Every structure is written in C-alpha cells, then in structure tokens.
Amino acid sequence: MAKSPAVDSELIDIHEARRWQDELSDLVTTPEELIELLQLDPEQLPWAQQASDKFALRVPRPFIRRMRLADPNDPLLLQVLPGATELEVVAGFSADPLQEAEANPLPGVVHKYHGRLLFITAGQCAVNCRYCFRREFPYGENHLNRKQWSAALEYVRARSELREVILSGGDPLVLNDRQLGWLAGELAQIPHLNKLRIHSRVPIVAPSRITDEMLSWFARSRLKPVLVLHCNHASEIDAEVRAGLARLRNAGVTLLNQAVLLRGVNDKSETLEALSETLFDAGVLPYYLHQLDRVNGAAHFEVSDSAAVEIIEQMRRRLPGYLVPKLVREIPGVASKSPIETSSKLPQTN
C-alpha cells in the first residue's frame, strides 16, 4: 500500500520519457511531408534539395502544428525550410564565423568568457534552424565519452574563478535525464560553482521534454537553475509550451530568452514587441537579440545594423525596459557578447 504512489509516479515518469523521446525520434525530415502537412503549393516554395543535403531538414511535429496552413511565408516555416538562397556564396560569410575551434581547450569545452564556460553536451538539435552558426560545426569531434567528460569536469574543478557551467550544444535537452542527471550531479559537487545554465530550443519545439525527471536534476540541484530559451516569434509559443514553462517557473527556474534577428521572420518592431509580451506572459524575460553569425547559407536572413538599431529604438519607446532585449553580436576574440550601440541622435518627437 505504502509503495503504490512511488510505483505510480514511476509509471508516469516512464510515460513522460517515452512521449518526448517518441516526439524527438518522429521528426519531419522530408520536404514532401512538410509540404503535405502544411497544404503548401510546391511551386511556391524556394525549396532546394541541395541545401538539405548540406544541412538536413529536421523539425518536430509540435512546432509544425503552430505554422499557418498554405502560407509559404510563415515565420516558423522560414526558419526550418532549406532554400536555394542558402547555396549562394556571399562575401563575409564562412564556415566558422566565431572561430570556435580556437576556444576549444578540450573536446566539448568552449571557454571564452570570464567565470562561465560552455559544455557542448550534444551534437544534435531537435530542430535544424537554417540560420544556425553551428550548421558547419564539427560536432562529431565533440561527442564525449566518459573519459572526456572526466577531463572536462576536471577543467572546471581546477578553475576556481568559474561560477557557472552552461550546457549547450547542439541542444543539451536531446540527451536523456539519466545522462544529464549524472552530469548535473557531478557539477553540483564542484564547490565554486553556484549556477547551472541550459541553452535550449527544445522546450519551444518539443515541450513534452519538460518532465518531472528533468525538474528533479535541474530545478532541485544545489546550483541555481537558469534556462535560456531560444524563441524568435510569438507564434512559437502555444498552450503546451506555456504549460511546460509554467512547470519550470514554479520549480524556481529563472527563464530567459534569446532570439536571433531574422529578415522575413521577426525584423519588425511590432513582431518583436509581440514576442516580448508573449514571453513575459509565459514567465520569460527577453535577454538577447542576436545579430546572426555570418555563417555560409544564412546571408538571406541578415538585417543591417542600422535597421536593427532602429527596431530596438522603437521597442524602447513602446515597451517597459525589461521587455527590451539587448541587441548584440558575437565578435571572435572578444570576451563577451558585444552590444550594438544605438545611435546618439538628437531627441526625436513622435
């Protein structure tokens, strides 16, 4: 009798784990299926097989369910559909725009900033975003075995100035809770750490991933939990995403969002204002708005700095300060994200 609640919760956990794992193994990976699901006219799509050969189409179904039917310009669709424009060679765009290969002291560790570093915990993501700078990153070399994990942990243990480890990727939440729980447990034993951060798009694209088991190693750790989401458009947040985020928030997780400024997707201040309001409603504060990294294949998404600054200035005039993200870009060799300064124009009235 006394045992049955434990058995019940175990059953629920198994059910939860199966559900997200099924969801992440049942991705849409062909344009034909995407076109059919969305009732698109193939003639209207800038689809290109060659672009998909270079960086595969991968999209979880919950994310597709939030796209508008029969709309080739849907802002969510544009983020995942491989297009012919990706094949253009554009000056200034390269395979490794961040020169991360140079800040990679050990496999799986990217240490560029003071007091915090990245663990490349997974080589994969749940979704492949066409603008991603990691589309050309050598993930294979960053898939760690236990011995390499020990070395990465030793690196952190030996550097008492570190306060925070950031689980990044790929996307750390494609790993299972047994693997992540082990890692979080090891990190919690390192006395100079006080925070554990996750950078993930999974709670947006596959919200069933937020399970009790995940909360047990993340939210109940000695380390203060911070989750930085990646969401670019208000339509990415539906009731299921909101429910998952509420569980994280109620468990004490600090929720922040980083977005990438993308032409045709969110490059209007009204669109980003709606994103900020929707995030806030779901308990998430906007953190960064990134200028994209100039990786091959992403040029058609680029927004000029002057247009970006104008968008942010308009947001600042219309929203409370805490709903205006910091507009930044990453510059190789600089020890933090670099703010893109707003113009120091004379006072305007409008």
Contact 18, 11 (CB under 8 A): no
Q: Which residue number has the CB closest to ligand PLP?
A: 112
Choose between 112 and 130: whose C-beta lies nearer to ligand PLP.
Answer: 112
Candidate list 110, 202, 226, 315; residue touching ligand PLP; CB under 6 A: 110
User: Is the torsion defined by CA of 141, 85, 274, 289 positive or negative?
Assistant: positive
Site for ligand PLP in 137-176 (CB under 6 A): 166
Choose between 68 and 337: whose C-beta lies nearer to ligand PLP.
Answer: 337
- Decide if residue 195 touches ligand PLP (CB under 6 A): no
Contact 109, 148 (CB under 8 A): no
Candidate list 112, 209, 300, 329; residue touching ligand PLP; CB under 6 A: 112
Choose between 190 and 291: whose C-beta lies nearer to ligand SF4.
Answer: 291
Interacting span for ligand PLP (CB under 6 A) from 6-14, 83-91, 112-120, 131-139 = 112-120
Choose between 110 and 245: whose C-beta lies nearer to ligand PLP.
Answer: 110
Interacting span for ligand PLP (CB under 6 A) from 25-33, 73-81, 111-119, 293-301 = 111-119
Q: How far is the CB of 51 from ligand SF4 (least distance, A)?
A: 14
Residue 116 interaction partner, one of ligand PLP, ligand SF4, none, beta carbon < 5-8 Å per kind: ligand PLP
Contact 144, 109 (CB under 8 A): no
Of 255, 262, 314, nearest to 293 by C-alpha is 262
| 3 state SS of 288 | strand
Beta-carbon count within 10 A of 139 CB = 15
- Decide if residue 337 touches ligand PLP (CB under 6 A): yes
Beta-carbon count within 10 A of 293 CB = 22
Q: Which residues contact 256 (CB under 8 A, 6 or more apart)?
A: 226, 227, 228, 229, 284, 285, 286, 287
Residue 21 buriedness (CB in 10 A; 0-12 / 13-18 / 19+): middle
Residue 80 interaction partner, one of ligand PLP, ligand SF4, none, beta carbon < 5-8 Å per kind: none
Q: Which residues contact 168 (CB under 8 A, 6 or more apart)?
A: 110, 118, 119, 120, 121, 199
> What phi and psi values does residue 327 have, to the nearest 5 degrees?
-85, 120
Q: Which two tokens stand for residue 264?
A: 């045709």
Contact 133, 177 (CB under 8 A): no
Candidate list 68, 116, 242, 263; residue touching ligand PLP; CB under 6 A: 116
| Cα–Cα distance measured from residue 17 to residue 23, given in angstroms and rounded to the nearest whole number | 10
Footprint of ligand SF4 (CB under 6 A) = 125, 127-129, 132, 134, 169, 171, 201, 230
Q: How far is the CB of 83 from ligand SF4 (least distance, A)?
A: 16
Residue 128 interaction partner, one of ligand SF4, ligand PLP, none, beta carbon < 5-8 Å per kind: ligand SF4
Cα–chain-centroid distance for residue 236? 12
Q: Which two tokens stand for residue 213?
A: 């088991």
Q: How far is the CB of 112 from ligand PLP (least distance, A)?
A: 4
Q: Is 177 left (phi over 0), alpha (psi -120 to 50) or beta?
A: alpha
Interacting span for ligand PLP (CB under 6 A) from 13-21, 29-37, 106-114, 305-313 = 106-114
Choose between 59 and 156: whose C-beta lies nearer to ligand PLP.
Answer: 156
Choose between 60 and 325: whose C-beta lies nearer to ligand PLP.
Answer: 325
Choose between 153 and 259: whose C-beta lies nearer to ligand SF4.
Answer: 259
Choose between 125 and 219: whose C-beta lies nearer to ligand SF4.
Answer: 125
Residue 196 interaction partner, one of ligand SF4, ligand PLP, none, beta carbon < 5-8 Å per kind: none
Return residues touching ligand PLP (CB under 6 A): 110, 112-113, 116, 118, 166, 336-337
